[in-house]
Structure 1
Amino acid sequence: MFGRKRAIQELHDIQQTTWEWLQAHPDLPLQTPTADSPSAGTVTAPVAEVDDFLPPDLRVPSREEITGMMMPYDKPLVIDGEVQSCPQCGAYRDWVLLSVRDEVWLRCRASHETPEPRLDAAWYNRNSGPMDRWHPTLEDGLKHLGH
Structure 2
Amino acid sequence: MFGRARAHREFREAQRAGHALLHTMQSHPGFQPPAPPADQAPDPAAEAVVPDFLPPDLRVPSRQDVEGLMMRWQQPLVIDGEVRSCPECGAYRDWIIFSMCDDTIHLRCRAGHTTPEPRLDPVWFNRNSGPVDHFHPTLDEGLRHLGH
TM-score between the two structures when normalised by the length of structure 1: 0.60
Q: CA deviation at 1:66?
A: 2.3
Amino acid at match of 2:72: P
Amino acid aligned to 2:113: H
- Pairs aligned (count): 95
Counterpart in the other structure of 1:91: 91
Where 2:127 maps in the other structure, the secondary structure is helix
Equivalents in 2 of 1:4, 1:135: separation in Å? 20
Residue 4 to residue 78, structure 1, CA distance change in 2 (3 Å): farther
Instruction: Give the drift of 1:127.
Output: 0.4
* Distance change (3 Å), C-alpha of 1:110 and 1:5: same
CA-atom RMSD in angstroms: 1.8
Kindly report which structure 2 residues correspond to 1:120-135, keeping only aligned pairs within 5 A, or say none.
120-135=121-136
Change (3 A) 1:72 1:4: farther
How much has 1:67 moved relative to structure 2? 1.5
Name 1:144's counterpart in structure 2: 145
In structure 1, runs of 5+ residues without a counterpart are: 13-60
Q: Percent identity?
A: 57
Q: What is the CA-CA distance between 1:65 and the residue it aligns to?
A: 3.3
Q: Secondary structure at the match of 1:105?
A: strand
**Which moved further from structure 2: 83-92 or 65-74?**
65-74
- Give distance in 1, aligned partners of 2:145 and 2:80: 30
- Which structure is higher in helix share? 2
| Residue in 2 that maps onto 1:5 | 56
1:117 corresponds in structure 2 to 118
CA separation in 1, counterparts of 2:77 and 2:94? 9
Amino acid at match of 1:69: L
Provide the rounded CA distance (Å) in 2 between the counterparts of 1:124 and 1:6.
28
The match for 2:17 is none
Letter in 2 for 1:6: D
Question: Where in structure 1 do 4 or more consecutive aligned residues deviate above 2 Å?
Answer: none
- Could you list the runs of 5+ residues in structure 2 that have no partner in the other structure? 1-51
Q: For CA contacts below 8 A with separation 6 or more, give which structure has more relative contact order.
A: 1
TM-score normalised to structure 2 length: 0.60
